[in-house]
Each structure stands twice: as structure tokens, then as C-alpha cells.
Amino acid sequence: MRTLYYSHPDFLFHNTGPGHPECADRLRSIEKALDAPEFSNLIRHSPPLGSEQQVRLIHPQLHLDTLLEAMPEQGECYLDHDTVLSSGSKQAAFRAVGAVCDALDQVLTGAADNAFCALRPPGHHAEPQLAMGFCLFNNIAIAAEYARRQHQLERIAIVDFDVHHGNGTQAAFYHQPNVLYASSHEMPHYPGTGHPSETGVGNIINVPLAAGDSGIEFRQKYSTIILPALKKFRPELVLISAGFDAHKDDPLASIGLVEDDFKWITEQLMAIADSCCNGRIVSALEGGYNLKALAASVAVHVKSLSDLQK
């Protein structure tokens, strides 16, 4: 497998302040794990800066202007109780958009089979007109719309296994039948959305997990609900909002997944992509706040994408 790995120093300079769980050490832990010799086959890419035009595929100009005007020259600025801007946030946020769009270009033109983008800030809580939940721009939603507009794809699937519901991604595509959004998430939990009754135009699939659920419930619900829906949809591209905060050791949730569960879901999504769209997958980092668990979970995710475990 030709797997692209995107990272950049700019992502470290989005400073969220002391004690914030969405911190630069998350990426440092991932970099350390993926520096192991077994990952020597990864094709490492430095992403370009994304453009305002790409951001506007999902976010209106007012949202963009509001964020840019709020960017501090020094220190931090809180947009809400947990969403922070710093002097490095603009570069990081645009670099994250550039990573997912460049990854799409590479995968959809056949230069690579799949890609994993180790980026921050994350994106799936960012609604078209609202930054929230650590998120400024909705990276994965921008990627989906970029694939529709730039590459003329007609069926795009987004699978979100972050422990928090991707309210922003759902909002972006709630009335768009060409994009299937499927999410597993703890409920009730932040941000309070993601009830199974939220179905859009039949393109939204929300599968709540209860506090205390483990890989047994996770795999059962994917096997009976999400994976059959993906096979029926037959996507031309699979995008992954890869959050690893459903891990049993994560401090921000109460789901009991382990590394092998992330390996399993990655392999299941790869099998569907292989059968529908020549294996085309672009995965982007969302949550995961226990550094050891995050690094280990990302490692098995990327191993699976790279076909290292077969």
C-alpha cells in the first residue's frame, strides 16, 4: 500500500494554553510512535497551506472573517469555554485544510492508495457558521466538498468514530444526499447531537453508544448498521474522521475501546473501500486525549492503512 502521512510543524504552534486537552503534545506522541522503523514505508508529505476558497466550500465568508479578526498577535483568545485561538492558529488551521485537500488530490489521481493526516486543530465540531469544540474549520467536511467540486465525485462517505458526535459535519451535509455521514459516539455526551432520529435526507446515520460500552457493542453496531449502509451506498471515496477518544483510557469519555478495535474498524472500512472505490481512503485526526493511548491507537490505524499487519 502507498500510504501518505501528512504532518507539519505549524500544527504544534496552535497554542491552546496550559492544561488544555487538545494540545501539541498529542502530535508529538504520534510522531514518536510513527518514527519507528516499521513505518519506514510511509510516504511523508509536508502539506501546503489551504486557501480561503477551500475553506469557503463549507464556511461562509462571515465565519472566515470573524475568525481571522479574532486571531490574537500574542497569548490566547477564547471563542468559547474550550475553543482557543493563538498567534499560530491561523497557520495551523489553513495547513490542516491544505493537508486534507492535498491528500485527496494525491489519492484521487492514483499517486497514493490512502492517506492519514495528523493535524490540529481538529474539525468535526465546526459548523458552517460556528467554531466550537476545539474546532475552527471542518477539515473533513471541506475535504468532502472539495472532492465533489474539484473531482466531481457523486457518492462520498464520511465515517466518524470519534467518541463525540460530529455535529459540524452533520450540519454541513444534512440536506446533501451525495454525502453519507455515519457516526458512532457516546450519548448523552458533548455536543448533545447525534440522535438516531437525525437522518437528514436519509444520508445521516447516527449510532449512539452508552457509557461503559466496549468493543463488543462497537463492533456489533458497525456490523449491523453502519457497514451494511456503506456497502449499499457504494461510495467513490471513504473519508474518516479518526478520533481515538473512545479508548478505554481517554479522560474525556466513558467508552471502552482498545487498540484492536481501532485496527478492526480500519480494516472493515478498507475492505469496503477496496470493493467500491479502489481502496481510496483519506483519514484525518480528530480527538484522542490520553497521549499513550492516542499514539498506540494511531499506530494500529496507520499500520492497517499501510497493510503492515498482513
Residue 310, pLDDT above cutoff 70: no
**Can you give the residue range of the structural domain that contains 166?**
3-305
Residue 92 belongs to some domain of the structure: yes
- Bridge partners of 44, per DSSP, are 5
Q: How far apart are CA 218 and CA 300, in angstroms?
A: 17
Mean model confidence pLDDT for the chain = 97
pTM attached to this predicted model: 0.98
Number of domains in the chain: 1
Residue 310 belongs to some domain of the structure: no
**pLDDT value at position 308?**
57
- DSSP state letters, 200-219: TTTTEEEEEE-TT-BHHHHH
Active site (catalytic) residues: 125
Residue 309, pLDDT above cutoff 50: no
Residue 164 belongs to some domain of the structure: yes
Q: Which residue intervals of 71-187 are DSSP H helices?
A: 89-108, 139-151, 167-173
Q: Give residue-wise pLDDT tens across range 27-80.
A: 999 999 999 999 999 999 999 999 999 999 999 999 999 999 999 999 999 999
Q: Look up cell 454541513; give the residue.
A: 172
Q: Please give the share of the chain, as a percent, with pLDDT higher than 90.
A: 98
Other CB atoms within 10 A of residue 128 CB: 13
Residue 286 belongs to some domain of the structure: yes
Establish how many alpha carbons lie within 13 A of residue 201's alpha carbon, considering only the half-sphere containing its beta carbon.
8
Residue 180 belongs to some domain of the structure: yes
CATH assignment of the domain containing 34: 3.40.800.20
* pLDDT range class, residue 261, cuts 50, 70, 90: very high
Residue 98 belongs to some domain of the structure: yes
Q: Give residue-wise pLDDT tens across range 270-295.
A: 999 999 999 999 999 999 999 999 99
Residue 125 belongs to some domain of the structure: yes
Q: Look up residue 117 and give its DSSP letter.
A: E
